[in-house]
Amino acid sequence: MSVFTRRLTSAIPTMLLLSSLSASATISYDSKANPNAPVSTIGKWDKTFAESHKVEHRKVTFQNRYGITLVGDLYIPKERGERKLAAIAVSGPFGAVKEQSSGLYAQTLAEQGFVALAFDPSYTGESGGFPRNVASPDINSEDFSAAVDFLGLQKEVDRNRIGLLGICGWGGMALNVAAMDTRVKAVATSVMYDMSRAMGHGVGEGKDRYSTADRRAVLQYLNEQRWKDAENGTIARAGHDIYVDKNGNVSASERILPETLPANPNPVLKEFFDYYRMPRGFHERSVNSTSAWNATMPLSFMNMPLLSYANEITIPTLIVTGEKAHSRYFAQEAYKAVGSREKQLVIVPGANHVDLYDNVAGKIPFASFERFFKTSLR
């Protein structure tokens, strides 16, 4: 997710963040604590969308290959009989939690007859991992495969019919896993971002933003921050969309979204603000709603392109984006790169990026996802 910080940096005031998500998180922690254990496993309904009475909801935990315990919400159709069902692992957007978009998608898929798992990625939400507010192209791809592990062990699931759905920045992760994990039989994305491209080359309006010199300046900036963190024994927080001005000066916002909108905000910033910072989509555990990433987090994405092997994806692939989405170019170029002969590109008329986070605008093509997965996971 980008907030187009080139128009924001000067407008964002210095402020205190939530106590559990302070601007500088100390590196040290209680040696008796298990950093890979869940942060919480809240059982009450605390989603940003209404609970469906057509599905059964279970709070679940499972481990990834790195020993981090992930926390998820499992949605199962109530009217399922005794037959084993196809299953779909869902995650995203980047910096969101399962109580937001991914949970809505998962619950809707369960209403359509699938077992669906929405989960928090490592280091975020209720899932384990220390330090907090970290993302990684490797570990987050592994999170998707760990979700496949979990689904394949459930008695309600036919492990030969498991698919993935990645929203926003998790679209690129889903495609990365689809090229590697042979157990995945279908993959779909919704308003996808390729986060390695977004952080390595800058999100522009239909094209990459960084020049080669800009990219080098960003790397210099991030590695200088590593020295500061090492010297101070703290982990600085910042937004992940880094701006380079015409003089080569580099800056990042103190948090992903401001406390209040600046005057005449960038339209994309307003889209994100109206979802993550407003009651419509706000959630206290969402990095995008309340805080920022670890400042040096983009380093792991900049030299690890997620779609390097997209041409090796042979399973059915559905890529959905909005006609007016600023991220549309990510989806269109990913569609060209995917090697599957069974691939579809759906462009939703009139939809911007955040229109496909929830169904406030009535634009999420849930029927398209249903047809795709029912056809591909037969």
Q: What is the pLDDT along the chain (378 residues), one digit of tens a residue?
A: 543 433 333 333 322 223 333 333 433 334 447 999 999 999 999 999 999 999 999 999 999 999 999 999 999 999 988 899 999 999 999 999 999 999 999 999 999 999 999 999 999 999 999 999 999 999 999 999 999 999 999 999 999 999 999 999 999 999 999 999 999 999 999 999 999 999 999 998 888 999 999 999 999 999 999 999 999 999 999 999 999 999 999 999 999 999 999 999 999 999 999 999 999 999 999 999 999 999 999 999 999 999 999 999 999 999 999 999 999 999 999 999 999 999 999 999 999 999 999 999 999 999 999 999 999 999
Report the candidate in 362, 327, 342 with the shortest Cα–Cα distance to residue 93: 327
**Residue 174 φ then ψ, to 5°:** -60, -40
Token pair for residue 262? 């600046």
- How far apart are alpha carbons 195 and 168 in whole angstroms? 9
- How far apart are alpha carbons 208 and 280 in whole angstroms? 30
Token pair for residue 336? 């060209």
Which strands sit side by side in the sheet containing 293-294, from one edge to the other?
Answer: 24-26, 234-238, 293-294
**Residue 53 φ then ψ, to 5°:** -95, 5
Residue 164 three-state SS:
strand
Find the helix packing angle between 366-376 and 101-111, rounded to 10°. 60
- How far apart are alpha carbons 69 and 63 in whole angstroms? 4
∠ CA 298-283-367 to the nearest 5 degrees?
90
Q: Is the distance from CB of 52 to CB of 103 less than 8 angstroms? A: no
